[in-house]
Amino acid sequence: MRILGLDPGLRLTGYGLVQVRTVSALPELVDAGVIRLDVKATIASRLDELERELVSLIDELKPDTAAVETLYAHYAHPRTAILMGHARGVLLLVAQRKGLAIHEFAANRIKQAISGHGHASKVQMQRAVQSLFRLAKPPEPPDVADALAVALCCAQHTLSIRRLPGANK
């Protein structure tokens, strides 16, 4: 099973593709990166660009499943939540049109699954992802680590992987 984790954004959208060959095996890192959008363009133009880039990425990587974080609106930053909702909507629409299974997870569930702490910081998540995949350095920018964390959480959930090693660090 190939799982594409997505971290929506209107400047950067992180993505991470993991593959699980057997239920007992740890997910393998296949590819990860960011879709960079033109910050000087209108929101409508960036959403159009995001859609085109994601279609191309899915065609290239051929995932079976897409995983995204559920939308969380903090009262202190409602505008940010609304803007992220636009990008998230594009991701869900493209995944649906491409026939992917779609899974959504709360941020604290993702953090708990990967780092062992539901309120882990960005740096802690980067280090947890680095450790799980035995990377030389933490994934940069943090959007990449976030996308990989979503994919790993999805793998753990959908394939009943009991616990990822290092998740309690």
Q: Is 66 helix (H, G, I), strand (E, B) or coil?
A: strand
Determine whether 69 is an active site residue. Answer: yes
Which of 7, 28, 49, 146 is labelled catalytic?
A: 7
CA separation (Å) from 126 to 44, 75, 100, 162? 31, 26, 26, 21
Extract the tokens encoding 98. 């491409």
Distance CA(110)–CA(69), nearest Å, equals 8
Which of 69, 104, 140, 146 is labelled catalytic?
A: 69
Determine whether 7 is an active site residue. Answer: yes
- Among all residues, which ones are annotated catalytic? 7, 69, 143
